[in-house]
Amino acid sequence: MTTTNLITGGAGFIGSNLAQRLLSQGERVLVLDNLSRPNVHRNAAWLRRSFGTGVELRIGDVLDPAAVRECVRRADCVFHFAAQVAVTTSLQNPLADFNINAHGTLNVLEAVRQRPNPPPVFFTSTNKVYGDLSRLSLALTDAGYQPAEERIRRSGVSEETPLDFHSPYGCSKGSADQYVRDYSRSFGLHSVVFRMSCIYGPRQFGTEDQGWVAHFMLRALRGEPISIYGDGQQTRDLLFVGDLVEAFLAARAKIDACSGHVFNIGGGPANCASVLDVLSRVRELTHSSARVGFEQWRPGDQRYYVSDTGKFTSFTGWKPRVAVDQGIEQLSEWMSTVAGPGASDDADAASRLESVPAAAGGGAA
């Protein structure tokens, strides 16, 4: 029997990459997405064109309990990615941010809980649940900010780090994160939380507020000014989206062991770089002379965040395979097809998708 996977926010960057992998191995995918995030309709059109009837697109919202129940009823596995994804947007409209991220997640969990045999739920959380990590003692090095403590410098930030929600976005995603975890303890659901670091790769239409590597690439290709918030020495671990997809599949294969657990997922210490180092690589690949400016630090920004993925590796054997330079090259190759000279990609097919207004929630992560 063919597995049917529900992906909320499945037209988004991460959702469309996961959908591609599942469809390529013969599984069915049901996408629930309101297509509110800019350019995700292009991903939806690409999935439709590439996989035909194997993928079903339901234009709807996770804030609509009836739509969620109808989709969950048909699912053998639920990947819940639909979210409001930007700290800046959460500061402008905290109530909408809470409704989408927390209430929307509860709608999904309740729909799953009501099933006689509930399907497993995989939820994408964020490293922002740890706050700005100002308690870490840092030193500014040639490689950017680095922890003074050797253990963290060697392994990264673990799941044992205290939660310290900072910004409405951190609060809403953190609340959802804890609900997903607790529904495993309280109701016996098979649920897994991934606290993700910087994910990048093809099908990411990055903006200044979210998806910064793709945003840099897009601006560089167009020769447009690039703004860096802070001093650019912030250190991040980068994870190529294909490796993230492998992590989802590894957790699904080991669901009995992984259920009820939270995992930090990122590139780890082997795949970390400063923002300025990444920008330098982007400009080199795109031969860009785009002007770079510096702005004030943004609320809750972490000067250092690198994931300790050791727990997830111990549960599943998963490790990142794509090095940062290799991954950025793949992003550059794809981005040139959608933003470079003569780019067309999915624009024509996307224009034929049903037009919907930018709704409140249920968009793509």
pLDDT tens per residue across span 107-148 = 999 999 999 999 999 999 999 999 999 999 999 999 999 999
Identify the pLDDT of residue 344: 55
Residue 364 lies in a domain: no
pLDDT tens digit string along 190-217?
Answer: 999 999 999 999 999 988 888 999 999 9
From the candidates 145, 169, 179, 305, which is the catalytic residue? 169
Rg (CA), the chain: 19
Residue 74 lies in a domain: yes
Burial of 243: CB neighbours in 10 Å, binned 0-12, 13-18, 19+ = buried
Q: Is the pLDDT of residue 363 over 80?
A: no
Q: Is 179 labeled as catalytic in the residue annotation? A: no
> Beta strands 272-274 and 235-240: pairing type?
antiparallel
Identify the pLDDT of residue 104: 98
Residue 256 lies in a domain: yes
Residue 362 lies in a domain: no
Residue 249 lies in a domain: yes
Residue 351: pLDDT band with limits 50, 70, 90: very low
Residue 328: pLDDT band with limits 50, 70, 90: very high
Q: Which of 285, 301, 165 is nearest to 232 (CA)?
A: 301
Count of structural domains within the chain: 1
CATH label of the domain that carries residue 310: 3.40.50.720
pLDDT tens digit string along 236-284?
Answer: 999 999 999 999 999 999 999 999 999 999 999 999 999 999 999 999 9
Identify the pLDDT of residue 48: 95
Section 186-190 average pLDDT: 97
Identify the pLDDT of residue 343: 59
Residue 358 lies in a domain: no
CA dist., res. 49 & res. 55, Å (int): 10
Residue 231 lies in a domain: yes
Identify the pLDDT of residue 299: 83
Residue 356 lies in a domain: no
**Structural domain for 202, as ranges:** 4-351
pLDDT > 70 fraction of the chain, expressed in percent and rounded:
93
Identify the pLDDT of residue 340: 62
From residue 124, how far is each of 25, 249, 288 by CA, in Å? 22, 14, 33
Section 76-83 average pLDDT: 98
Q: Which of 106, 102, 188, 147 is nearest to 306 (CA)?
A: 147
Q: Is the pLDDT of residue 23 over 80?
A: yes
Q: Is the dihedral of CA 43, 46, 48, 51 positive or negative?
A: negative
Identify the pLDDT of residue 341: 59
The mean pLDDT value of the chain amounts to 92
**Beta partners for residue 295, in sequence order:** 229
Identify the pLDDT of residue 335: 93
Given a contact cutoff of 8 angstroms between Cβ atoms, the answer to whether 175 and 102 are in contact is: yes
Look up residue 314 and give its two tokens. Answer: 């111990």
CA dist., res. 115 & res. 124, Å (int): 22
